[in-house]
Amino acid sequence: MSKSAISVKDVKIQYRVMNKMSLLKALLNPKKFSKTEYFEAVKGVSFEVEKGKILGIVGKNGSGKSTLLRAIAGIFSPDEGSIDLHGHSISLLSIGVGFQNALSGRENIFLSGMLLGFSKEQIDEKLDEIIEFSELGDFIDRPVKTYSSGMHSKLAFSITAILETEIMLIDEVLSVGDAKFKKKSYAKMKSLIDNEDRTVIIVSHSSETLNKLCDNILWLHDGEIKMLGTTSEVLPKYDEFMS
């Protein structure tokens, strides 16, 4: 009998939206502060991902894909509903999430690793491998705020790829950096994904990538599930819709 690695039930996520006035004007003129409105990014979404399966999430921009992924990663809590990871360790590979710009790349490796639940000793064991894979050289001891976007991407990818977790969430970053690093990163991620004990959710706009890697596809549209099924069932209908 298959076991669920991720259970999402009736999840709703809202954002507070300030209309008519900027925050600065509202602070300077509180009496004229307009009524706060809310935008519902995810609207009662439910699904299960079996252990060892790869789920792709598709949808137009603003459909709630990345918001849902961050909720599963525990970056923030849903306003309603529940997310159960059944005790599995989890990591989110998403550029721009989790780094402290004032700290060096080396310090961010330890910070990110500890946030993923690894001990200092475990990170120490993988440290040289992470640094070597990132190809950052001496920049590893410089503040992340001095990094180019490509260097930032390489470090983020290397940490998540080398510090392996049981569940991996990937947000549009299967190929990062220069051409050489893209080839290397894709090969590394493919080897991680192919592990039958690892559960993966991939958010991507690349139908080619999803078709190659995913068992099932979840199609989100305006925060709701439009379709959920096998890759061969869902992806052609999504591509037709988007064209």
What are the pLDDT digits (tens) for 119-165? 999 999 999 999 999 999 999 999 999 998 888 888 988 998 899 89
The whole-number pLDDT of residue 172 equals 74
Task: For the chain, give the percent of residues with pLDDT over 70.
Answer: 88
pTM beyond 0.95: the answer is: no
CB 30 within 8 A of CB 210: no
Q: What is the rounded average pLDDT for all residues in the chain?
A: 88
Residue 36 has pLDDT above 80, yes or no: no
The whole-number pLDDT of residue 25 equals 62
- Under DSSP, the state recorded for 141 is G
For residue 126, give the nearest of 102, 97, 106 by alpha carbon.
106
Distance, in Å, from the CA atom of 162 to the CA atom of 165, rounded to the nearest integer, reads 9
Q: Which residue has the higher pLDDT, 239 or 196?
A: 239
Residue 175 has pLDDT above 90, yes or no: no
Q: How many helices (H) and strands (E) does the chain have?
A: 8, 9
Residue 65 has pLDDT above 90, yes or no: yes
Lowest-pLDDT range of 18-32, 34-48, 201-215: 18-32
Residue 32 has pLDDT above 70, yes or no: no
Model confidence pLDDT, tens digit, residues 66-116? 999 999 999 889 999 999 999 999 988 776 566 899 999 999 999 999 988
The whole-number pLDDT of residue 19 equals 57
Mean pLDDT of 187-191: 84
E strand or H helix at 70, and its extent?
Answer: helix 65-73
Domains contained in the chain, CATH given: 1-88+168-173+196-243 (3.40.50.300), 94-165 (1.10.8)
Distance of CA 59 to the CA centre of its chain: 15
The whole-number pLDDT of residue 106 equals 97
> Which two three-digit tokens encode residue 218?
């979840």
> Which two three-digit tokens encode residue 53?
């399966």
